[in-house]
Each structure stands twice: as structure tokens, then as C-alpha cells.
Structure 1
Amino acid sequence: MNALKANHIIKYFRTPEPFEVLKDLTFEVSQGEFVSIIGKSGSGKSTLLYLLSTMDTDYEGTIEINGTTVTGKGQNELAAFRNEHIGFVFQFHYLLPEFTLLDNVMLPALKLNRKSKEEIENRSLVLLQMLDLKGQEHKRASNISGGQAQRVAIARALINEPTIIMGDEPTGNLDSKNTQIVFDIFKQLAHENGQTIIAVTHDDDFAQKSDRIIELMDGKIIS
């Protein structure tokens, strides 16, 4: 089953003059697949991720996620769709520093408002334990290391049980030990939980160990 389908994606930057940054990209990603998107700076990989994540809607072609065509939907509809179906892990963790780890993880689920606060708290505690943060739940986010913060960000990305997790340089700020930890978590989520991982990365080791690599060059898929 396909988690994501991109059909004939074309993207222009309009200023200072029109420039075609993505050139007719078509590909599919299966459910439970761990895919790395690689390419030199300026190849279009981050631009592509923003389109796939539904954050940028100014493109030609169509994007389908979990059987739903997201192309053409309004911003409010897309925001609700993202919160339910897509988890995000960025290079910088974007935790709220004054909030506890537990509060940071709970936030997207409280916003989705599908479960009771108690259920959300219990699931958050399970995720923090799974990510080896048991005993840290009530620490403020400002008082933990970078590697721990990135694991909290992954727990937060998982709280609504998204089918797809998208990472933009998710190990970009981490040392090799923490990079390996994050990689192992992603691999487990894909292969044991059936969640789909799509990660843009500069890290060749990280990419080589994933299930499949999509390599971009000058806005085209070259492999």
C-alpha cells in the first residue's frame, strides 16, 4: 500500500525571476518504508519535503497521502490533515523551553482533541519511556541535552500516531552517537510499527542504511 504518491510535481520560485526548482517529479513511497532524500545544497530536497508535508501548496501536479489527494485543499483543512497524519522532526527541535518534556509531547494531541487529557498523558509517558527518557518527564525542555531534546521532538511527532514521519535534517545537530540512536528509532518505527519515514539528510551513512534513497540533482530525481 502506498503512503504517498507524487505525480508530475513542478515547482517554480517566482522571484527575482521565474526559476524551475523541481522538474516533473513522480515517485511513490510505500507504507512502512524508510526513505532518505539526498542531494547537494540547492538540489531541491528541502523544497520537495515542504510540498510533500502540505506546508507549501504552490506547485503543479498532485500529491496523495494515505489515499487522500491533498492538492487543492484549503489551509485550514491541510492544517487539520497534517496534525492527524504527519509527524515532523526538524534539525532544530522547536521545543517550548519553559514547558516540561511531558507538556511538549502532549501539545499536538491536546490540539487534535480526540482523546481525554488522561489518555494523552499516558501515551506521552509511554513514548518518553520508549525513547529512553523515563524519569525526565517533568524536567523543563531548557534543561536537557541536544540529543535528549531531539528524542522529545520524535515523541511529540509520534503522539497522534501519524502514518508518515517527515524529517528535515533530523540528525543535523547531533553527534554520531545520538545520530545512531535517532536512526535506530526511525528504523524501528518503520519496520515494527509500519510507519513511513521520509527524511531529507546530508548524512551519507544515515542515507545508506535507510531502505531507499531518492537522490535529487538540479530539481530532478537522478536515482
Structure 2
Amino acid sequence: MRQTILKTENIDKYFYDPIEFQVLKNISFEVQKGEFLSMVGKSGSGKSTLLYVLSTMDTEYNGNLFIDNELMTGLSTDKLAAIRNEKIGFVFQFHYLLSEFTCLKNVMIPAIKLGKYSEKEIEEKAYEKLKILGLEDQALKPANKLSGGQQQRVAIARALINDPLLIMGDEPTGNLDSKNTNIVFDIFQELTQNYGQTIIAVTHDDDFAKKSDRIIEMKDGLII
């Protein structure tokens, strides 16, 4: 039996500036463990807004959000921040690496913040994640000495460091050429198939979406 990792019930969201506008309408769906899900839709369809709600970073909505069978809706900011750090890894369009830090140090940051393991254990885990991404030989290089594709792979390693339940990607291949887009896609696929990782990615790339396990298409705030 597959395990439900994330579930939404009747999520509505409004923007009020400059006028009242409903940006998400009655969003209900489930995501299973080990699933690779792509969210697509034109600009303004609501997909990025939905991702921010799913990630618990946006709490101004009606309806319910469950992660790992726990209700997120209504929890305090601090509690949500702790859950995010432990259970969600983020990969954005831009890598947001600290350029003067080594790749290894960049990958270690979320785990140091979580404070569950010693620095030595975190370093070992960081090497392990870089190895999965084929970058262990770049571990001690400053992040700014890597190519764009390599930097994005370091960002994925950083997202994996706390062994999160979910990886959420906001246009994770948006800044990459087709060769590096394929590399990142293959990594995501390997993570879901071989490591049971669950991935939700917002993308404009139709080829990327078509190859994932499931597509949620949005239009005018609705799942179509």
C-alpha cells in the first residue's frame, strides 16, 4: 500500500491587492511516497502560488494541508519553519549557493541548522549526497568555480541533506540548457525510483513534465 505524503483538502486562496481576486479554487489532491509530480500551467494559472502553500511558506489560505498525516494548517510560524527544515528540501530556479563557501559547506548548511547530528556526521552525509550527484570530486571547490549545471546539482544535494520527505522544485531547470536539464531530470528520476524520494516540481518545460510520473495542470486557479 502506498503512503500518502501530502494531501490538500479544498484549498482556496485570495489576493486582495489591488482588488479581491481568487487565485486558487478548491484544490484537493494527494501525493504518494516516491512519486515524481510536475505542476504545469501558463503564467498566472496559480501553480507557483500553490507550491508556496504546499511548502507551508504561505499560510494565508482556506482549507487544509496535511504533510506526513499531520495537519499543517494553523500551526505557528516557528513550528512550520522546523517542519520545513526537517521534512522539505527546496530546489529553486536559481541555486542560491554561498559563492565563497565550498560545495561541501553549502550542502551542510541545512543540516547544521537542524542540529540533529555532529559536524563530522553532517560532513559525511554531505559527501554521500554529493556522491549521488556525481560531484564528490568537486566537494572542496568554492561554489562559484563550478558550472551552472554543477551548481544546480549542488543545490539538489543541499536539498537532500536532511533526508526530507519531500523535494519541492520551483522551475528547477529554468536556468539550464537542455543537456543540464536532462541531467537534473535523470537525477530526480533516480531519486524517486531508487531512493523513494517524493518530488513536486513546478515547470514550464513540457518535455520535463511529460517524463515525470504525473502531471497536475492548472488554469485560472483550478486543477484541470
Deviations 1:6-50 (A, max 9, x none): 100000011011100001111011111000000000000000000
Name the SS of the counterpart of 1:54 in structure 2. Answer: coil
Structure 2: how far apart are the matches of 1:33 and 1:17?
37
> For residue 116 of structure 2, what is the aligned residue in structure 1?
114
Equivalent positions of 1:1-223 (< 5 A) are: 1-222=3-224
Could you state the TM-score of these two structures normalised by the residue count of structure 1? 0.98
Deviation at 1:134, TM superposition (A): 2.1
Deviation at 1:170, TM superposition (A): 0.2
Structure 2: how far apart are the matches of 1:79 and 1:99?
24
Deviations 1:45-85 (A, max 9, x none): 00000000000000000000011111100111000000000
Deviation at 1:88, TM superposition (A): 0.2
Structure 1: how far apart are the matches of 2:84 and 2:198?
14
Deviations 1:72-101 (A, max 9, x none): 001110000000000000000000111110
Name the SS of the counterpart of 1:37 in structure 2. Answer: strand
Structure 1: how far apart are the matches of 2:136 and 2:197?
23
Structure 1: how far apart are the matches of 2:109 and 2:70?
25
Could you state the TM-score of these two structures normalised by the residue count of structure 2? 0.98
Name the SS of the counterpart of 1:22 in structure 2. Answer: strand
User: How many residue pairs were aligned?
Assistant: 222
Bigger shift: residues 165-174 or 186-195 = 186-195
- Stretches of 4+ moved more than 2 A in 1? none
Structure 2: how far apart are the matches of 1:194 and 1:130?
14
- Cα-Cα RMSD: 0.6
Gaps of 5+ in 2: none
Deviations 1:183-215 (A, max 9, x none): 111111111111110000000000000000000
Deviations 1:136-160 (A, max 9, x none): 1111111111100000000000000
